[in-house]
Amino acid sequence: MLETKLYESDIRPDWCPGCGDFGALSAVKNALASLEIEPHNVLISSGIGCASNFPGFIRTYGHHGLHGRPLPVAVGAKLANPSLTVLAIAGDGDEYGIGFNHVVHTARRNHDVKLLVLNNEVYGLTTGQLSPTSVFGQRTKTTPYGSSIYPLNPLSTLLGVGATFVARGFSGQVKQLSELIQAAIKHRGFSIVDILSPCVTWNDIYDNVRSRMYSLDTVSHDRTNLHAALDRSKETEKIPLGIFFQNEDSPSFDELLHKTVNNRFPVNEVKHMTEEEKKVAISIFS
């Protein structure tokens, strides 16, 4: 295991004291140190919002981009340099709202990028509006009488579109979360870890989560069984934590691409075509 101080930034997170995202930050550092992935080989791609301020609070390469778009940036970077460990870290607004299209298709194509969603079930940085995962009845600035909209279930949805690794963690349980993130990084292809990460200012769900959560490791759950995973993901009374589903038989998009087109990355090889390639390139011109 590497020392976690390797990943220490000199920038103090601007999250509210007690924010769940601190736990997620510790878990990510611990996971990278445990897997001995050096900071310069890690790229964290984020969007916009409290959770997406993540890059810079941890010393790795970072791309702090646009709202909802962490995944396509991550996908491009991973294709260009397969030796990088590429994480997309963002909130529920980013990933389950404006950018959910990308989540569906990145999962479907099984890109080798790891999505960690810091899910606080509310729009935090814009001062507390209803998010796609806000629960029925939740009072927010946009639902002063309580929400009449049922929330998106990200886990069952992603199981439905063919995600090959689906897990849920809780930022109040750093050790277990780190283990989930490690498993996600080691997974062959796309993985999603939905991380319940309470917002102490707009939606403090710490007690609620603690009172309802249980670990899938404590029940006999077969993570290779898609139907069992779907059943667990649909639970509403209790909150299962852990790996719902994992399929390691499907090759990742990146594996298939590198096998079929033999793309010669990384990039110290930017050069003109060979004579042979030139002939191919203009064969269509006559």
Partner 1 sequence: MTDKDITIRLGAAAGDGIQSAGEILTRMLSMSGQYVCTYNGNQSLIRGGHVWFHIHAGNWRVTSLGNGIDYMLALNQIAFDEHIGKINQGGAIIFDPKTVKAGTIPAGVTPIRLPLTEIALKYDKRPLMKNTVGIGALAALLGIDRKEIGEVIQLQFGSKGKQIVEGNVNAALEGYGLAAKSFVPTKSLEFDYSKKRMFTHADFALAAGAVNAGCKFYAAYPMSPASPILHYMAINAEKMGISVLLAEDEIAAMCATIGAAYAGARAMCATSGGGFALMQEALGMAAMNETPIVVVDVMRAGPSTGLPTKTSQGDLNMMLGISQDDFPRVIIAPRNSEETFNTMGRAFNIAEKWQVPVIVLLDFGIGDGGYSTVDNLDFEEPIDRGKLLTEVGDEGTWFKRYELTDDNVSPRVLPGTPNGMFVAKTDEHDEYGHDLSDVEAGLQHAVEKRVEMMNKRMGKLTGIAVEMNLPEVAGPADADVTLVSWGSTSNPIREAMRQLWAEGVKVNSVEFCDLFPLRWKEVAKMLRKARHLIDVESNYTAQMAGLIARETGIMIEDRLLTYSGEPLEPAEVVEKVKNVLKKEIGVSVRNKAL
72 touching partner 1, by CB under 8 A: yes
**Phi and psi dihedrals of 169, rounded to 5?**
-130, 180
77 touching partner 1, by CB under 8 A: yes
Q: Which of residues 96-155 bind partner 1 (CB under 8 A)?
A: 101-102, 104-105
Q: How far is CA 57 from the centre of its chain?
A: 17
The site for partner 1, by CB under 8 A, has a size of 63
* Nearest residue to 71 (alpha-carbon basis) of 42, 37, 31, 111: 111
93 touching partner 1, by CB under 8 A: no
Stretch binding partner 1 (CB under 8 A), from 8-16, 128-136, 195-203, 229-237: 8-16
Nearer to partner 1, 5 or 175 (CB): 5
Contact 107, 158 (CB under 8 A): yes
What angle separates helix 21-34 from helix 174-186, to the nearest 10 degrees?
50
45 touching partner 1, by CB under 8 A: yes
* Rounded Cα distance, 22 and 157, in Å: 27
CB of 251 to partner 1, least distance (A): 16
With a CB cutoff of 8 Å and minimum separation 6, the contacts of 234 are 153, 156
Among 37, 75, 90, 243, binds partner 1 (CB under 8 A): 75
Q: How far is CA 150 from the centre of its chain?
A: 23
Q: How large is the C-alpha radius of gyration of the chain?
A: 20
Nearer to partner 1, 18 or 266 (CB): 266
- The binding site for partner 1 (CB under 8 A) comprises 8-11, 14, 38-41, 43, 45, 48, 53, 55-56, 59-66, 69, 71-81, 83-84, 101-102, 104-105, 257, 260-268, 270-273, 277-278, 280-282, 284-286
